[in-house]
Structure 1
Amino acid sequence: MAPNEKTQRWLNNTDCCFWDGVSCDLKTGNVVDLDLFGSSLNGSLLSNRGLFKLQHLQSLNLSSNNLAGFLPDSIGNLKHLTVLQLYGCGFFGNIPSSIGNLSYLTHLDLQGNGFTGELPESMGKLNRLTKLLLSTSKLSGNFHHALLNLTELTWIDLHSNNLEGRVPDWLWMSELVYVDISKNALTGFDGPKDAIQTSPLEMLDISSNTFQDPFPLLPNSTRFFSAFDNQFSGEIPTTICGLVSLDTLLLSNNGFIGSIPRCFKSFNTMLSLLHLRNNNLSGKFPEESISVGLISLDVSGNQISGELPRSLMNCTRLEFLNVEDNMFNDTFPSWLSLLPDLQFLVIRSNEFHGPIYSLSFPRLRIFDISKNIFTGVMPLDYFANWSAMSSVAYVTDNKQESVGFSFSNYHKSVVLAIKGSEMELLGSGFRMYKTIDVSGNRLEGDIPQSIGLLKGLIVLNMSNNAFTGHIPPSLSNLTNLQSLDLSENRLSGNIPPELGKLSFLALMNFSNNMLEGPIPRGTQIQSQNSSSFAENPGLCGAPLQETCGGGGEEVYEIVKEENDQVLSWIAVGIAYVPGVFCGLTIGHILTLYKPYWFMRIFHSFA
């Protein structure tokens, strides 16, 4: 008999047995604990009449089942319940008023259902309740006075509902430590500005509402404060500087003006996440605003000018840095290569200038320096030490725990340019994407052959520069590549036929160069629009209208010569792996195979 059938039969006859998830009082035989989490139950609870006869039940967990329909009034018969968990069951309609009969309840979890309407007034009778979880439903109305008497609450989660109006000041008279009221339609706080300051609050999330001024005065115990996607304005209040326990501050997508407060450095190693994205902040980025404990810093989409603060060199835990779309005027921050954990570097759309030196970024997964004024030649070995992008494995971000709240990369955001369109990358996309974007600069010379070492690369954009020479055949090593843009350069020669074998390469653009010869055959290349090859007078073959004549042998010789170069650059990549014996052995083989290229490589490192 299938487990769900056994469970359904047991619920209907109420016999006590020792199945998994069922605990009984050995003296009386009464069921006291029923945990049927994820047991494939379906249908309505009304059909499980035996469940509501378990008068001595103290803990009930039916979460992650398919118990659609209304939550029956008979739930109020289980008067000895202390824990009720019905997370993600598919219930809809109003929460029954009989819920108020469960006067012993300390933990109520009704998250992830489709409950509608306001909270029942009878919920005010649950004066022993410490944890209330009602997120991700369709609850509406104002903050109901039903919660007024719940003075024992330490944890309340109402995020992702349709609540509106203002947050009452009596909410802070309880023992609340964790409050998540994000993703509603709340507009502000009732009561005096300092109403929250007397609470023991550690975590407050009011993001994605329509909160306006005044900005709340938070208690010193605050560790996590998220207020992004609201309508706060004016300067960021310096009262935040006094929050000595603050670990996470998320104020993106508001209307803050003025400069960044000169105080965060005083937190020493405490502040790890500082996100001020998409405000109207201006002036220079003060050195004093950099906490050495930073893991993630996002000040993109503002009007910050001057140089990138050199105090970032002290942030040895920094993983994510996004300063795109500002007015920074500085040289390439080569000193960032000293940060061992840096994974995301985005400085696009600023006024960074000068050469970009060859550096080692072993953990970097997103590198975006587009739309600046960088000049010069990229060294041929530029990408030789970028280990993370050389691997096809995904890397899981570290998570910072804050009062039971798991911060992942959900709050991070980067805009990627793919074939002329912009795509915002957030959430799990950060674990998947490995991208390089150097477009919109003034870089020249050959595209480094060492690009072929980055086998995990998903997006490569080198468009709108002044690159010359041939397209490196080593690009054919990038078997995970999905988007390639080399347009608006001065590249010559043919498109390497090997690129036709890249089965994931869905988007490509070679337009506005000086390429010639036949367009390689291959399903992905042939499916491109003709605009991807436009403005290359020497190109021919589908999808262009121009047909190709002779010259096949000449094309073959070009490809053969460039393949020899690929072999040489594979040797360069391997040479970076520790081990003298391995290096000497491969060097000896290459010497026999291609003496001229081996000597050239040897002298380049001498």
Structure 2
Amino acid sequence: MRMRDVWVFPFLFLFSSAFPITLPLHSVSAAAVLTTSYRHYLSNIGECDALLQFSNSFNIKENAPGYYCVVLSSISSHPKTASWKNGTDCCSWDGVTCHIATNQVIGLDLACSWLRGPLHSNSTLFSLPSLQRLNLAGNDFYGSPISPSFGIFTGMTHLNLSYSQFSGPIPLDMISQLSSLITLDLSYINPLITIGDDHSLRRLVGNLTQLRELVLDGVGMSRISLVSLSNLSSTLTSLSLQQCSLTGTLPNNIFHLPRLRSLSLYANSDLIGSLPQTNWSTSSLVSLVLSDTKFHGPIPASVGNLTSMKILDLSYAKFTGPIPLTLGNLAHLTDLDLGSNTLGSTMEFEMFARLKSLQLLSLQYNNLSVLLQSNGNCSFPMLKVLMLSSCRLTGATFPYFLNSSAELEELDLSRNMISGGIPDWIGRVGRDTLALLDLSSNNFTREIPSSICQLSSLSDLDLFDNGFSGSIPRCIGNLSNLLKLDVSINSFAGEIPSSVCQESSIMVL
């Protein structure tokens, strides 16, 4: 509604009082709707002004969102507040949600909105007491402290301040008062931000009994006793504590939270723990990430009971023992990463034959001996990343099942004993997607097939230390994305093609 409309309504009221007019029924209905709309406009005009003042307190900078909005988030990055106009109904503004009956502002989503500047305690943001959802992720608030004024939002259910450049201690006592919170995301607010008060964390865990999603990635918690996490809400469905400098032993009861679907403890290099030797059949886990920790011991066979599991990442840890055959039952798995442990056994690769949804599979850098048949029933049509370096693929030939992996992006078969040649169908494997092909330190022989030149996205080709013979295909010089080419320690004849030497994009040869 334009501002001049505000002056029209009083005039119409005086005119109608002096000169009564009988309107047709449909006209009366239209007037009623118009009057109701006008009342709604008046009822939230103060909040609209507060939002405009809030918006005007920041600069709009395209580079304010940073890494989160550009790389990590699927959120569209654009200056939402730039379209806000004085005299219009703020309930129609980009990022603003109003209550359908009262017209009060109840939701504000300004994630990745290019806001740059300090957020002070007297900000008009805190003049919106009915706010229930607030997302300020991916902006730059210039190292402002997280204001205690956030405590005014007693009905808040969703709060996201991640990647927003706040500073100072996190006011957990204030956040603990927001007892209606369902989602809380304070991840990577600032590289130096910490939680140093064990008592406050206990209070937070104890008070937020409705919490379903808790994300504190990048928040320093080295001084926190992990016992503080023992009483997490039974309503919790997602817990992410990545790169939090956690130390000590993780309480096993966290794995038994009845509704927990996602748990990520990535990159807590001093965090100790083990997978419970329990049935797991009652667990709701869909995603479990324990990579780059000191989790140790065997992988229980009962993990195969997690039939809804999609992501299982236990890489760069201290797990030992065999890979349970029951992992082959997890038919919904998209990511299975067991690389860089000390897992040891002889295993049949065919155990993964049922995992048709796999997009990532890594078994590299363990003490495994993987038996790979020259033909069989495996096919992975969704596969994008396969890492089998140092898996003792003794006597194997180039994996036949890759013939079905048209979307492959990375393939590392290095440091094995694979023999024979590269098949001619290599050009169909990730034809427009394959960026990394590492076949180094194997027993490959024969000539490199010219079909390898069909891999138009290839940027890293490593054929080091094999028995390839014949000449290097001239067409390799036509791979415009190629940055690294290593063909040393082979049995090639002739000279390196001039097209390869002249390719300016190749950094290593």
Please say if 1:508 is aligned against 2:472: no
1:336 aligns with 2:352: yes
How far apart are the structure 1 equivalents of 2:320 and 2:49? Answer: 55
Q: 1:149 deviation in Å?
A: 3.9
1:222 equivalent in structure 2? 236
Pairwise CA distance, 1:438: 0.4
Residue 307 of structure 2 is matched in structure 1 by 292
Deviation sequence 1:197-256 (CA, Å, 0-9, x none): 451111111111112322323101001111111011222211213311111111111121
1:175 is matched with: 180
2:444 to 467, 470, 475: 467
Matching residue of 1:146: 149
Q: Distance in 1 between matches of 2:162 and 2:407?
A: 36
Structure 1 residue 196 corresponds to structure 2 residue 210:
no
Amino acid aligned to 2:148: H
Counterpart of 1:132 in structure 2 is 134
Greater relative CO (CA pairs within 8 A, separation 6+): 2
Secondary structure (helix, strand or coil) at the match of 2:461 reads strand
The answer on 1:352 being equivalent to 2:365 is no
What TM-score, normalized to structure 1? 0.63
**Equivalenced residues, count:** 431
* 1:519 to partner: Cα distance: 2.3
1:119 CA drift (Å): 3.3
TM-fit CA distance, 1:11: 7.2
Q: Is the 8 A contact 2:480 2:505 kept in 1?
A: no
The answer (yes or no) to whether the contact 1:228–1:253 under 8 Å persists in 2 is yes
8 Å CA contact 1:483, 1:505 repeated in 2: yes
Identify the residue that residue 417 of structure 2 maps to in structure 1. Answer: 442
Q: Give the corresponding residue for 2:426.
A: 451
What is the correspondence of 1:148-163 to structure 2 with a 5 Å cutoff? 148-161=151-164, 162-163=166-167
Alignment RMSD (CA, Å): 3.8
For residues 225 and 380 of structure 1, what CA distance do their matches in structure 2 show?
A: 38
Residue 529 of structure 1: how far off its partner (Å): 6.8
In 1, Cα distance between equivalents of 2:217 and 2:130: 28
Residues 483, 507 of structure 2: 8 Å contact kept: no
Q: What SS does the aligned partner of 1:193 have?
A: helix
Q: 1:501 to 1:155 in 2, by over 3 A?
A: closer
| CA deviation vs aligned residue, 1:559-599 (integer Å, no higher than 9, x gap) | xxxxxxxxxxxxxxxxxxxxxxxxxxxxxxxxxxxxxxxxx
Over 3 Å counting, the alpha-carbon distance change for 1:485 and 1:250 in structure 2 is same
Aligned with 2:403: secondary structure?
A: coil
Q: Which amino acid in structure 2 is aligned with residue 481 of structure 1?
A: L
For 1:440 and 1:250, the matched residues in 2 are separated by 31
Conserved in 2, the CA contact under 8 Å of 1:364 and 1:386? yes
Letter in 2 for 1:342: L
Question: Could you tell which deviates more after superposition, 304-313 or 493-502?
Answer: 493-502
Write the letter of the residue equivalent to 1:350.
Answer: N
**1:422-441 CA distances to partner (integer Å, 9 max, x unpaired)?**
xxxxxxxxxxxx12110122
Q: Which residue of 2 aligns with 1:431?
A: none
Residue 415 of structure 1: aligned partner: none
CA contact (8 A) 1:321 1:346 kept: yes
Corresponding letter in the other structure for 1:363? M
Contact 1:381 1:450 in 2 (8 A): no
Task: Show structure 2 runs of 5+ residues with no match.
Answer: 10-31, 60-85, 97-102
Q: Following the alignment from structure 2 to structure 1, what is the Cα–Cα distance between the partners of residues 34 and 123?
A: 38
Q: Is residue 119 of structure 1 aligned with residue 121 of structure 2?
A: yes
- Aligned residue identity for 1:335: M
8 Å CA contact 1:25–1:31 kept in 2: the answer is: no
Query: CA 1:346/1:31 → structure 2, altered by over 3 Å: closer, same or farther?
Result: farther
1:518 alignment partner, SS class: coil
Q: 2:81: which partner in 1?
A: none
Give the SS at the match of 1:297: strand
Which residue of structure 1 lines up, in the alignment, with residue 476 of structure 2?
499
Match of 1:317 in 2: 332
Question: What secondary structure does 1:137 align onto?
Answer: coil
Identity of counterpart residues, as a percentage? Answer: 23
Shift of residue 292, structure 1, vs aligned partner: 1.6
Ranges in structure 1 where 5+ consecutive residues have no aligned partner:
1-6, 18-23, 34-53, 72-77, 89-102, 390-433, 533-606
Q: Is the 8 A contact 2:485 2:508 kept in 1?
A: no
